[in-house]
Amino acid sequence: MKALVIGASGQVGKSLVSLLRREAWEVLGTYHTRQIAGLVGLDIRDQKAVQELIRTAKPAIVFLPAALANVDYCEEHPEEARAINVEGAIHVADEACRVGAKFIFFSTDYVFDGLSGPYGEDDEPCPLSVYGGTKLRVEQYVKRLSASHLIIRTAWVFGYDGDSVNFAMQVYGRLKQGTPVVAAEDQWGNPTSVDELAEVSLDLVRKDVAGTLHVAGRDLVTRFDFARRLAAAFGFSPESVRPVATAALSQRARRPLRGGLKTEKLRCVLGRATMTLDEALRDLCERWPDPSHA
């Protein structure tokens, strides 16, 4: 089977490509600005280039982790966010559909307003930010396009990736430099191991699951709790992490506060639960290249 991973230079795409290669799939991956050997360049805003790539590659599966995923940047650059996250994603969805490939779209817990989370797959979305709005638009489009496609909503993705600014890498970088970490004590979500996200995504493809599914870590925690547990896992004092209210962070985009995703449907589909945060942190430390961390 041949898979195309669009956005293979990002943390989720990278993990997907290395898993697919380990599992002996034929894989083609793309980058946009961060050139990586073995990947091909693609800007999903260029509809012709998307069509050419998919028609030539003829994949059976198209994964689309590519997006402008910086929530505050999207808020400040709404046109660019829509061009990439909505129009670009639609170019890929349309062409995947045209060649009969299964399309896997990665979406977010930020489609919800965070007034009463955690949320199930059938709860009403109501995004607070430009970013959340762009992801919801594509969800709606994909649902109309084909019943066989899969929308994976995930949250707070983390893992070891020297090129990524995911939350774990940020916390580690700051603590290593001796800079204190502040983290919101009123934002709730499910930290999700990037490697488990990739593994579960592939399991869902193998089972030919369609529709919308939440793929996220089992535990719901605050950012502050997440940061303290990361600090402890890396061998730093959890006391170096200080709590702060979201209102004091002056973030450009509004965050869903009581957010998070319910994962019961996934447990039924897979026959197992995703990792607890403690399990995911142990897994992170095993994959970390520097065993002494701190």
Name the DSSP class of 57. Answer: H
Cα separation, 170 vs 55, in Å, equals 39
Q: Residue 171 is which amino acid?
A: V
Tell me how far apart the alpha carbons of residues 257 and 83 are, in angstroms, rounded to a whole number. 27
Which residues are the active-site residues? 131
Cα 30-31-37 angle, rounded to 5 deg: 85
Cβ–Cβ < 8 Å for 284, 193:
yes
Chosen residue from 4, 16, 111, 157 binding ligand NAP by CB under 6 A = 157
Give me the residue whose beta carbon is nearest to ligand NAP: 10
Contact segment (CB under 6 A) with ligand NAP among 4-12, 116-124, 239-247, 260-268 equals 4-12
Candidates 156, 160, 188, 236: give the one binding ligand NAP (CB under 6 A). 156
**Residue 268 corresponds to which tokens in the numbers above?**
């039924």
Of 225, 237, 159, 235, the residue nearest 198 (C-alpha): 159
The rounded distance, in Å, linking the Cα atoms of 166 and 159 is 7
Told to check if 200 binds ligand NAP by CB under 6 A, we report no
68 binds ligand NAP (CB under 6 A): yes
Give the interface segment with ligand NAP, choosing from 40-48, 51-59, 119-127, 223-231 (CB under 6 A).
40-48
74 binds ligand NAP, rule: CB under 6 A? no
Order of strands across the sheet that contains 211-214: 40-41, 26-31, 2-6, 61-64, 102-108, 150-154, 211-214
Q: What track of x and - describes contact with ligand NAP for positions 19 through 38 (by CB under 6 A)?
A: ------------xxxx----
13 binds ligand NAP (CB under 6 A): yes
Q: Which is nearer to ligand NAP, 25 or 31 (CB)?
A: 31
CB nearer ligand NAP, residue 156 or residue 224: 156
C-beta neighbour count of 194 within 10 angstroms: 27
Which 86-115 residues touch ligand NAP, going by CB under 6 A?
A: 88, 106, 108
Is 68 or 175 the residue whose CB approaches ligand NAP more closely?
68
Q: Where are the alpha helices (DSSP H) in 99-235?
A: 130-145, 167-176, 194-206, 223-234
Using CB under 6 A, which of 18, 43, 121, 279 touches ligand NAP? 43
Taking CB under 6 A as the rule, does residue 59 contact ligand NAP? no
Interface ranges with ligand NAP (CB under 6 A): 7, 9-13, 31-34, 42-45, 65-69, 84, 88, 106, 108, 135, 154-157, 164, 166
